[in-house]
Structure formats: structure tokens, C-alpha cells
Amino acid sequence: MHKPKKLFNFVAVLSLVITLLASTAIPASAGNAREAKADPRLLQMAQENPDATFMVIIQREVKNRNVNETNPEADVNNEGGRVKKQFKVIESFSAELTGKQILKLAKKRKVRWISADAPMVSAGGPGMETVRDEFQSLAYDGNAGTQMWSTDWSEGDSSGDAAISTADVGVFKVAQSSRCAGGSGYCLHIAPDIAGGYVYRQADLTGTVSVWLSLYRNNLLNAYQGGGFEKVQLQVSPNGGVSWITLATYSGIANQGAATDSFDISAYASANTRIRFTTPTVQNGVRYLYVDDIEIAFALSSLR
């Protein structure tokens, strides 16, 4: 699983400082060690994706500097996270943490506030906006988020065919199965029966920050006996399909079984961001990948 890297420069750091100082109207309850001292939008994402990795900014609670408790940096390292960069202008540092680590660290007395590592997020605004498909019916037009997708799911293959199947039949289809999220209902059913097939959907992510793609997957693909393996790739495009970046490969030897996967796609947010599943190889036997609850969650920039 590959995540885009964030590059810091003086302007980014300055923007971060201004944002943190302006938006750090921290609730009075944040002083209570039993309260989670973090952006509610970040807490929501951490709760929904406990095993996903997040880039965050952690502010130290200066007044508790001498409290008999480990420092936040030590807590990050002890929990298996990574301290990334120290900020001298304010008492803070950036780090990589999983959702469950964020939830634990947010209750430490030496932590003042945890926010997403995304400067220029609107302060005091609503929670994360979403485009989401829960596949609630046998159709390619599901909209279960706070915002609408730009398009329905569309299919094709490397030969240029406009469509290779419909929502209820073919390599890609919506199927009712116990393999879907929650053990029932509908979900996207992928059978790598052709090489070069794909299904994609597009969203307008203009003026967004902290953009996360998450999905439930149940990978039942298997390996070839001859040493190869069938696979399905999850990809993202920032330019309407002109170019694609692979986020994950699902196969008989990679990302097996059922889990929720999350990806930071902030670097690929645009007016025509696309996500797609593609089948670069043909499977051996009858095995499938099931995908459900596909969601892109994001915050709106204060410049939007």
C-alpha cells in the first residue's frame, strides 16, 4: 500500500502555524485528560478506520510539561508510530499514527490538540464531507454520502470498448452476497476473467484537503499453481483517467481476506478525480474480490 508523501516548505509551515493558532479555539473540555483532545473530524476518521495510517500535527500542552507522564514524542514511538518533523515556532510536531493510536494519544495530559496534517482547513466548519457508495441496490448509481458523485460507475477494457457488462452481470457487477460488508446486502463483485478490464467512478474534489479513500474489501482471489497469481488493482487518477496511480494490489498473496483499507489521496484531489478497479491478469479458477462501502471523505479548504 503506497501513500503519497507530503513535502514541507516555509510557506506550508507558515500556513500551518496560522491555521493552528487561528483554529485552536480548543474546547474547555479539552483540558480534561479523559476527553479526546483532537479535531472531531479526525476522531471520526480514526474511529471508522482504526488500522489506517494518518498524518497528524500534535500540539504539546505546555502547562503540563512537568507532569509525571511520558512526552508525546515518546508516546508516538512507544505506540509504533513515527515522529516526522519538529516545529520550532509552536510547540508541536508532525507524526504518522494509526487511528487507534490517535484515539489513545488524544487523552494524554501532555497533548493539547491533534489535528490532520493539512494546512488551510476551515476552522469551526462542519465535519468531513463524503461521497460514498454502499451498493444498496442492484445499480451503479449509489449515492450514500453528503455529496454526490460526478458520474455513475462506468466499465471498459483495454480494447477501448465503452462497456463490457452491466451492473447485474459480467466481470464487474453488483451482487448480493454474504461476502459483502455486514455479511449481507449488495456489493461490487469483481471476477478477473479478462486482462485489461476496469470499472471507475469520478468525484469533484475541487478545493478539498485531507482527502481519504476508504473501502471494505473481501479478497478471495487465489494463487496460480504455476507460481503466478491473479490480481485486481485499485487505482486513482487526478486528471480524469489520463494517468493512473496504483494504491493497492489485491491478489492471492497480497491484501487477502476481509478488512477496511484507507488511503490518503490528498495529492490526487481535483475537479475530476477518478478511482477504478482494474484486472491486469486473468484468474485461474473461479475466485472473486468483493468491495463495499466505498467512500471518499474530505475537508473543504478555507480558500474554496
DSSP 74: H
The larger pLDDT score, comparing residue 261 to residue 91, is at 261
Looking at the fold, whether 102 and 147 belong to one and the same domain comes out as: no
Q: Name the average pLDDT for the chain.
A: 78
Residue 101 has a pLDDT of 92
- What domain count does the chain have? 2
Residues 53 and 201 in one domain: no
Range of the domain at 15: 10-116
- Do 24 and 63 fall within a single domain? yes
Do 175 and 285 fall into the same domain? yes
C-alpha neighbours within 13 Å on the C-beta side of residue 127: 11
* Same domain? 134 vs 105: no
Separation of alpha carbons 41 and 61, rounded Å: 21
CATH number for the domain harbouring residue 71: 3.30.70.80
- Which one of 85, 116, 147 terminates a domain? 116
Query: What is the Cα–Cα distance from 246 to 244, expressed in whole angstroms?
Result: 7
Residues forming a β-bridge with 166: 169
Is residue 136 domain-shared with residue 39, that is, in the same domain?
Answer: no
What pLDDT does 161 receive? 57
Q: In the predicted model, is pLDDT for residue 23 greater than 60?
A: no
Tell whether 105 and 134 lie within a shared domain. no
132 within 8 A of 144, measured Cβ to Cβ:
yes
What's the confidence (pLDDT) of residue 303? Answer: 44
Distance in angstroms (rounded) separating the CA atoms of residues 138 and 175: 7
pLDDT, tens only, 33-81 = 457 888 877 888 888 888 887 888 888 887 777 777 777 788 788 777 7
107 and 208 inside one domain: no
- Look at 157 and 151; give whichever has higher pLDDT: 151
What torsion, rounded to 10 degrees, do the Cα atoms 29, 32, 38, 40 define?
-40
* pLDDT tier for residue 16 given thresholds of 50, 70 and 90: very low
Q: Which of the 8 DSSP states describes residue 259? A: E
Asked if 73 and 154 sit in the same domain, the reply is no
Q: What percent of the chain has pLDDT over 90?
A: 32
Whether residue 173 is found in the same domain as residue 82: no
Pairing label, strands 53-60, 111-116: antiparallel
Residue 251 within a domain: yes
Locate cell 487526478: which residue? Answer: 238
H or E element in which residue 213 lies: strand 208-219
Same domain for 70 and 219? Answer: no
* Residue 276 resides in a domain: yes
pLDDT tens for each residue of 268-277: 999 999 999 9
